[in-house]
Amino acid sequence: MYCETISRTASAVIENIGRAIYGKEDEIRFVVAALLCRGHVLLDDIPGTGKTTLAKALARSVSAETRRIQFTPDLLPSDITGVNYFNQKTADFVFRRGPVFTNILLADEINRTTPRTQSALLECMGERQATVDGVTYPLDDPFFVIATQNPIESQGTFPLPEAQMDRFLMKLSLGYPDHDAEKTVLSNYGAASPVDTLSAVCTCADIGEASDLVTKITVSEPIKDYIINIADATRKSDRLRLGVSPRATLALMKASQAFAGILGRDYVLPDDVKRVAVPVLSHRIITRSQNTIRLTDTNEQVIEAIIDTVRAPID
């Protein structure tokens, strides 16, 4: 069955990443699910918890072209998308492609660059194309952005606007490792990084095939109603100033399909929706008490409370 193909590809990537990231099986599974539904991931956490390591481990696990952008305040949009330059030999303008023309893009510390530069990624992430000087260039498939940011340090940062946040399928926080996982880190990261020893376990074609098969995962009418009811509850909640958009509803369905496929099923269960609801929806809402500084835990708690109150369909 096609769900076996999805599960086999995903399991290989998850297991490979697990050789470098310890005790974070759920977070790794979420990242792979986002990759399979052609979404993007924002890793929002304090420094030193393994955000960049996770991104690099994913890049090494897939035999795909990978580029990294270190976002800084002086970064320009052309540094991301590319620029037309005059070639004196040919007496013509030539387009030099930027790092966005790749399969896996690591956007490190994305909130350290200006809104103008951040917006250069909007079209790329949403429409998988880049427009430079009026000419539109298609991006490669797969095109997966995995961005990192530090939510604690605000000096010299530019909070991502709502439109940019909505382009990320999931927002994840790795958090501190438990005792055993941190002990493994001390043992394995002393001399060299295990990430450097990782090799690719699948190709872009494998990811593309699995991504196409994810769309075939059955979503029953009761499950669709359940997803819509969750979204509607965020729009009617007294605790929220802004509920989730229809794009978020579609993202929740796609993420549920990918999660079901990873577990080897060709149909979505209510539990799949519940598992992915927080990482898919928590960054797309604004609480009534929330100011420009994001209170991620509060957002997560609101989504969890909504999941507890919305009645799930019974098979």
**Which tens digits make up the pLDDT trace of 25-47?**
999 999 999 999 999 999 888 77
**Can you tell me the distance from the alpha carbon of 313 to that of 76, in angstroms, rounded to the nearest whole number?**
49
- Quick one: 210 and 228 in the same domain? no
Neighbours of 208 (CB within 10 A): 14
Domain range for 126 is 1-188+200-215
Place of tokens 């002086």: 74
pLDDT in tens, 84-102: 888 888 878 888 899 999 9
Q: How many domains does the chain have?
A: 2
Cβ atoms of 247 and 166 within 8 Å: the answer is yes
Contacts of 155 (CB under 8 A, 6+ apart): none
Q: Is the pTM of this model over 0.75?
A: yes
The verdict on 48 and 110 lying in the same domain is: yes
User: Is 194 domain-assigned?
Assistant: no
C-alpha 47/C-alpha 148 separation (Å) is 10
- Do 183 and 222 share a domain, yes or no? no
In this structure, the answer to whether residues 99 and 24 fall within a common structural domain is yes
pLDDT per residue as tens digits for the range 176-218 = 888 998 898 888 887 778 888 889 999 989 999 999 999 999 9
| Three-state SS at 52 | helix
Query: Are 178 and 222 found together in one domain?
Result: no
**Please, are residues 263 and 38 in contact by the beta-carbon 8 Å criterion?**
no
Q: Which two tokens stand for residue 255?
A: 């993420």
Q: What is the CATH number of the domain that holds 232?
A: 1.10.8.80
Amino acid at the residue 139: L
Going by pLDDT thresholds of 50, 70 and 90, the confidence category of residue 155 is low
